[in-house]
Structure 1
């Protein structure tokens, strides 16, 4: 079927649906229902007069109209309608000349009144349930329409069942066709994306499978970026009901990230050159340190510390840029983890001594490992620096390492301020500074854990943080004994 023909069929279906809905609303109106029931009662009465018969069949002919009145007006009105129908029946019987039998009155009155009362009670319960269901559906629809994300649901066969207002607006803006499955409609965007081949491949995978997925795509002509996700919807017994789809525009977020990355890269490169010159001049000045007065030597040491700190920040920024560009290089070689950990502890000891913090190394003996000693040492330096920074004066920090389940495990434990539970999920985010660091004005860039995780995962390892506010923090690093490539890799 051509697109034009399918559109015509859809328009006709929509017209019939609107007609059916209008008829349903009209029939549901109490005044209309009352009119229909009254006309039905009179018509039944006239039919009995015309036919000259008023047997038991007459009672049955009055039942639908009594039930209709009861359904719309309740059990009391239904009972009265039953009495009125019985009166019409007996009037018809008298007009056509049938004998007035009291037993006939009881036999005709009881069923009609009973039908009216029962129908009214049932209708009231059904109407109450229907109104509650309508209110719930309306609330759910309003909630879905109020979300920022476009959301739709498809049944197990892939047919579109529901789409909220934001998704309908997005579909119109993107020019998606009003027919076909979700993947078929999205496939029409393939040639307009920056990666048409990858986009088609993902749509084909989604069309043939039911796994959860999340992807981003960018439109070439407008530069708009969208994040789409989908997941299966299942009953409690695991039976597939359908799929839920969500679409969100993230253009502003991606532009902000690109601006931030460009700014960080520019600042890092611009700072690197003057810092190199400054460090050189400080080294030259250090050659004449003996000729300086005490105050001059104090200023020189302060300048050295400040320059070294700025250099570390610049190096961290450049390293994060490499990580984001997936250009982090690791050169692995056989190393001894005990020697690396001991060097990291000695490097951290001066900062710990200033706060009278006891730094302890707990390793049973040599632990052979394949790793990039420079980068892994950077991980230990960052983790020890964080532990000392957030541990109060007189506290303790322990670095331990051991073999566990065929992996080398490193744990750095402190009894410091800890991390609030609601912040644990953000500690590996770029530039994130916890509430404790902000409140106590502790120095830092929020890049230490980001760099540590990237280096650890580059070694095919894992890193996790376990912390309780006010009790302390434990960071665990697990590394394989050997690297899969055994050399330089990315």
Structure 2
């Protein structure tokens, strides 16, 4: 059925079609001439024109729907008069137009009512004109009207159902669009309230989502003529092609790319990370960029490193003096052998402490590269170093009831600095005992292959989680399981140990199960570079 807003337009279009056909018939009648009642015919034509004027002038949208049915009903009566005026002209076919209008615009009532009224008019006119119809001709026009009306009615019902379905779909889409707009507004408000920048970069390099923090942090960091953007060191001007946003537009992904914007008191240190967005089909659909202002964090780290450096410098002076006097005491004639041995032990430990202070100084450097550690590699037997390191930790292990197993320590030659490797082992064994369970177990193993020698230190301690495994070798990092415990530590030992091993050309790795224990593996060159295996 037609809605109220369509009534006026429907009345005009349908009546104009009917009137156009009647007008053509009237003109043809004037040209050819009528054999019937001309006055009665043109009276009917005039009625059709009057109905057309009513269809155009009357505001049918403000009236009840059934009032509009008066026009096609009037057309049926006017066509009946035309048929009476000229029975042989076939004007009964014009009933098709109002019947179609009623079936399409007024549902089941219009369909049945239009057919019945048209058939009634057909029967009445036949009585009036006293025609003698044949069995076939009498049925043809009614069957045609019924067929056309039924077909129109069914098509109208299908069109109405489709329109209803489209209206419902439009309503659902409108509601979905409104929800999407609300979600977008909530997301935008949430992003604008965080203090780190978030941006969505499309594949063409444009930014589809930018929160206030991103715009604020990046402001002034994309200049082309002024060198206002610097590398992480704060001194080297950053090439525009190396800017994090330029790298993102080239398709790169990275973590913690640091730049400095501005200089002096107005400077900002930014940490930028980018992650690519991969579609289900594997295609790249852009990236998400997160920017953090780490100026305060960087300043705090710088102050901490300065403090560590200052304290370490202050420690070196008395340690150097202690070493000097210990050497004098050792060289003094007449010192009893027992006292001389104690002095040598003190001398070795003071020398080791001095080296540790030097390593702390190197590790606290502002340079993020490996600490500047000096190594003097030579061909060594790892068994001797392992045994010496184990012997030095036995007292601490015994106090906690921890057993140290050296049954898998086998002869293994390596090309390494014995003092530095002893430092690495001291740190690994100290951690294995310190972070172990009471009455736990520490196992040390050595092995050697054609290219590499291996030292493995395994413990039954608290273990490391996934976060710890990725950060345990960072400077000043302490694992989550021991961070709030009574066990003390500065977080430098493993970082220094890895730097030492890497200076040898090897590496140190860790595998761990939280709550079960950890295994640290040290890989060292088995022989001097350039020499063949024996």
CA distance in 2, matches of 1:105, 1:263: 96
Distance 2:64 2:378 in 1: 99
Match of 1:429 in 2: 474
Give the corresponding residue for 1:199: 239
* Inter-CA distance 452–364: structure 2 relative to 1 (3 Å threshold): closer
Aligned to 2:111: none
Change (3 A) 1:55 1:121: farther
> Which structure 2 residues correspond to residues 46-65 of structure 1 after superposition, within 5 A?
48=12, 53=16
- 1:255-270 matched pairs, under 5 angstroms: 255-270=299-314
TM-score w.r.t. the length of structure 1 is 0.67
Q: 1:423, 1:140 → 2: CA distance?
A: 32
Q: Does 1:274 align with 2:237?
A: no
Counterpart for residue 232 of structure 1: 276
Identify the residue that residue 379 of structure 2 maps to in structure 1: 334
Please point out which of 161, 169, 175 is paired with 1:122. 169
In the TM superposition, residue 262 of structure 1 has moved relative to its aligned partner by 1.0
Q: Distance in 2 between matches of 1:268 and 1:56?
A: 108
Structure 1 alignment gaps of length 5 or more:
1-36, 58-80, 177-185, 292-299
Kindly tell me: are residues 116 and 396 of structure 1, through their superposed partners in 2, closer, same or farther at Cα, counting changes over 3 Å?
Answer: closer
Q: Secondary structure at the match of 2:374?
A: coil
Check the 8 A contact 1:210/1:231 in 2, yes or no.
Answer: no
CA 309–95 in structure 1, closer or farther in 2 if over 3 Å, else same: farther
Task: State TM-score, norm by structure 2.
Answer: 0.62
Q: 1:107 matched to which residue of 2?
A: 104
Give 1:151's aligned residue: 198
Q: Given the superposition, is the C-alpha separation of residues 198 and 436 from structure 1 closer, same or farther in structure 2, using an over 3 Å criterion?
A: closer
| Counterpart mapping for 1:17-56 below 5 A | 41=6, 44=9, 48=12, 53=16
Distance change (3 Å), C-alpha of 1:197 and 1:425: closer
Larger Rg computed on CA atoms: 2
The whole-number CA distance in structure 2 between the counterparts of 1:485 and 1:249 is: 48
SS at match of 2:289: strand
Q: Distance in 1 between matches of 2:416 and 2:295?
A: 39
Tell me the SS of whatever aligns to 2:205: coil
Report which stretch shifted further, 346-355 or 81-90: 81-90
Give the secondary-structure state (helix, strand or coil) at the position aligned to 1:328.
coil
Question: How far is the alpha carbon of 1:308 from its aligned partner?
Answer: 8.7
8 Å CA contact 1:275–1:311 kept in 2: the answer is yes
Pair 312,230 (structure 1): closer, same or farther in 2 beyond 3 Å: same
User: Whole-Å Cα distance in 2 between the matches of residues 91 and 285 of structure 1?
Assistant: 131
Structure 1: how far apart are the matches of 2:397 and 2:268?
50
Larger RCO: Structure 1 or Structure 2 (Cα < 8 Å, ≥ 6 residues apart)?
A: 1
Task: Tell me the residue number matched to 1:65.
Answer: none
Q: Is the 8 A contact 2:475 2:492 kept in 1?
A: yes
Q: Among residues 206, 209, 219, which one is paired with 2:261 in the alignment?
A: 219
CA distance in structure 2 between the aligned counterparts of 1:135 and 1:484, rounded to whole angstroms: 66
Deviation at 1:424, TM superposition (A): 4.0
| Residues 1:320 and 2:369 are matched in the alignment | no
For 1:237 and 1:461, how far apart are their aligned partners in 2? 40
- The C-alpha deviation readout for 1:356-408, integer Å capped at 9, x for no partner, is 43323245643232223222221111001111222344432111012368432
User: Displacement of 1:43 after TM fit?
Assistant: 5.9
Residue pair 1:152, 1:244 contacting (<8 A) in 2 also: yes
SS of the equivalent of 2:106 reads helix
- CA-atom RMSD in angstroms: 4.5
Aligned to 1:32: none
- 3-state SS of 1:248 partner: strand
Contact 1:82 1:113 in 2 (8 A): no
Consecutive unaligned residues of structure 2, counting only runs of 5 or more, are: 21-59, 79-94, 108-155, 336-342
Aligned to 1:90: 69
Q: 1:154 to 1:95 in 2, by over 3 A?
A: farther
Report if the CA contact (8 A) 2:379-2:528 is conserved. Answer: no
Give the structure 2 partner of residue 180 of structure 1. none
Give the 3 Å change call, closer, same or farther, for CA 452–98 of structure 1 in structure 2.
farther
| 8 Å CA contact 2:501, 2:508 repeated in 1 | yes
User: Is residue 378 from structure 1 mapped to residue 378 from structure 2 by the alignment?
Assistant: no
Residue 191 of structure 1 aligns to a residue whose secondary structure is coil
Mapped partners of 1:427, 1:306: distance in 2: 27
In 1, distance between residues paired with 2:511 and 2:357? 29
C-alpha distance in structure 1 between counterparts of 2:361 and 2:530, whole Å = 25
